[in-house]
Amino acid sequence: MNPLLQVRALGQQVWLDNLSRSLLNDGHLARFIARDGIAGVTTNPAIFQKAIADGRYYGDDLARLKTQALTAEARYERLAIPDVRRACDLLRPLHERSCGEAGYVSLEVSPALAHDAEGTVAAGKRLHGEVERANLLVKVPATPAGLVAVEHLIGDGINVNVTLLFSLAHVDAVANAYLRGLERLRAAGGDLGRAMSVASLFLSRVDTLVDARLEALGGDALALRGQAALTLARLAYQAYRARFHGPAFAPLRAAGARPQYMLWASTGTKNPAYGDLIYVEPLIGSETVTTLPDTTLAALRDHGRVADTLGHEPETARALLDRLAAQGIDLDETGEILQADGLAQFERAFTSLLELTAA
């Protein structure tokens, strides 16, 4: 059996971390959905920068847009939004069959708004209105301003992918923003059953930073390399289970609300010494999402070993966190560094993207 379909049978959704007109026009995305059970698509400025820079299928539209009195950002959106709509339409049957549980496409607000709550809310509403698809997730970073925006967007019935989480503190803050949003939506008489959010926890970047610190320490610390991200994900999943399957969430669940699923992002292996599925095989579990770039998706299909691995041995994850702390590794502190880094990377990608679409 296709390992991707085995993953889905265990309750985890696999989303493609890529979108381009080549994927759409050449039928690749449709095949991924039909053959591999791909249940969603994520995008970001770097993905669209690469897609548009490659030029295929975008050249004529971009040339036409450059003759119009539009900002570079408006030109980018006029290229990206039709792609997002088409992906939403391909996933719509799944979205409808699953009653809104799956079949989503994510589109990110401008990284320039990361510290502007009001601007993020306005941009989220605008993108939601322009895409005009029920299975859109507006992508918002987990900055303090972003969390204010998440609460307001969920409260206004706009579904959100909260991105750039790198620590348990981020996970907790994001979940609380979602819960506040659900309460706002319920108070306004909104339909809780239509609310959807995922919390995107980035993995490989955690190990890149933590491993460098462990290597600088040497000695016993070296044995902990390659374990920080998995530890973080397992503890985040434990927190998810306690929060959304406990008594505090029960009234919202009874009113139709669904949990905010954990989403594993940055799952491509950056260290060639590690296996190509190091951030996939150990983190398979129900009520989660994993987003895979093309190469990791192909690796999982080719030689993935699938089992329900995520919820096993919770005490081991806590012990590993303690061992990291004993070496002076504070994962909340590294999370703040990594979030700032991630924002800077997205800002650079967005700047490069706008250079492509400038007149």
Strands (E), the chain: 12-16, 40-41, 104-108, 136-141, 160-165, 197-202, 261-265, 288-292
Residue 46 neighbours by CB under 8 Å, 6+ apart: 345, 346, 349
Tell me the HSE value of 211 on the side-chain side, using a 13 A CA sphere: 15
CA distances from 278 to 135, 175, 230, 268, 299 (A): 30, 26, 9, 8, 11
Structural tokens at position 308: 């329900």
- Which of the following is catalytic: 50, 125, 139, 270? 139
Which residues pair with residue 292 across a beta bridge?
16
Q: Is 139 annotated in the active site?
A: yes
Contacts of 310-314 spanning 24+ positions with Cβ under 8 A: 310/233, 310/234, 310/237, 310/282, 310/283, 310/284, 310/285, 311/237, 311/241, 311/285, 314/234, 314/238
- Phi, then psi, of 242 in degrees rounded to 5: -65, -40
The answer to whether the CB of 350 falls within 8 A of the CB of 69 is no
Q: How many other CB atoms are there within 10 angstroms of residue 159's CB atom?
A: 21
User: What residues act catalytically?
Assistant: 139
